[in-house]
Amino acid sequence: MSSPFYVPPEQLVKDRAEFARKGISRGRPIIVAALDEGILLVGENHSPSLRKIGEVYDRIAFAGVGRFNEFETLRVAGIRYADLKGFSYSRADVTAKGLANAYSQTLGQIFSHEAKPYEVDIVVAELGDTKEQDSLFRIQFDGTLRDEDGFAVLGSNVDEIGASMDGKVGAGVSLSEAIAAACQSIEEATEQSVDPQGWEAAVLDRSGGRRKFRRLSPDEILSARS
């Protein structure tokens, strides 16, 4: 009887991580930024129906890059988690931190035990009553959970876009200014010009009603960049 093929554990983890990173790096970038007016989520997406940005709960939004079927599975599971917790306890008990922890555990388990890791990079954003109370949690393919300060970048060209966005969002920056800065940073990093219809954007609007999530139209994006 032949002995099984042996792979050192550290090499296996390294190969899994490299495989996942390659898949994620092919994804078109998304920027999530906390502003005085709310939280902006914007990225390049030419599909009118396959959304990378979506609402999870009253004040919570989701953004994901990588394999669509995998991050869409996570988004739907997050909605079910939030609905069940809100129904069983209170709507106030549904938080981005709790949802991010659940995603982190799920992705960590998949990375360690499944045949193939998920090729996803996601952000869970929660709108607070003030900008200081906003929360941005980034969860990576291996379950790594990070609390982002001010803004987060997902997908390809992360370092270049992050450097370009530094100082362009935050206190005192309007929604229109942030949209223009985000679109410009993505175009410069990817060296591609994007039509207004090629963007997917949404905002968690602090001035909205109970449900804060609102999608931005191509006209609003074009107006912000004019």
pLDDT-based confidence at 210, cuts 50/70/90? Answer: confident
Q: Is residue 70 a contact partner of residue 48, using CB atoms and an 8 Å limit?
A: no
**Residue 112 forms part of a structural domain:** yes
> What dihedral angle (degrees, nearest 10) is formed by the CA atoms of 87, 89, 92, 97?
-100
Does residue 192 sit within a domain?
yes
Residue 204 lies in a domain: yes
Q: For residue 66, what is the enclosing H or E element?
A: strand 60-66
- Residue 70: inside a domain, yes or no? yes
Flag whether 1 is in a domain: no
Mean pLDDT for the chain? 93
What mean pLDDT do residues 122-134 have? 95
Confidence check: pLDDT of 3 > 90: no
73-102 mean pLDDT? 95
Tell whether 161 is covered by a domain.
yes
Number of H helices, E strands in the chain: 6, 10
102 in a structural domain: yes
Query: Per the domain annotation, does 33 fall within a domain?
Result: yes
Per-residue pLDDT tens digits for 41-72: 999 999 988 999 999 999 999 999 999 999 99
3-state DSSP call for residue 44? strand
What does 185-219 look like in DSSP terms, one character per residue?
HHHHHHT----GGGEEEEEEETTS-S--EEEEPHH
CA 212 – CA 55 distance, rounded (Å): 9
Q: Is the CB of residue 176 less than 8 Å from the CB of residue 224?
A: yes
The total number of structural domains in the chain stands at: 1
Provide the domain limits for residue 61. Answer: 9-225
Domain holding 64: CATH number? 3.60.20.10
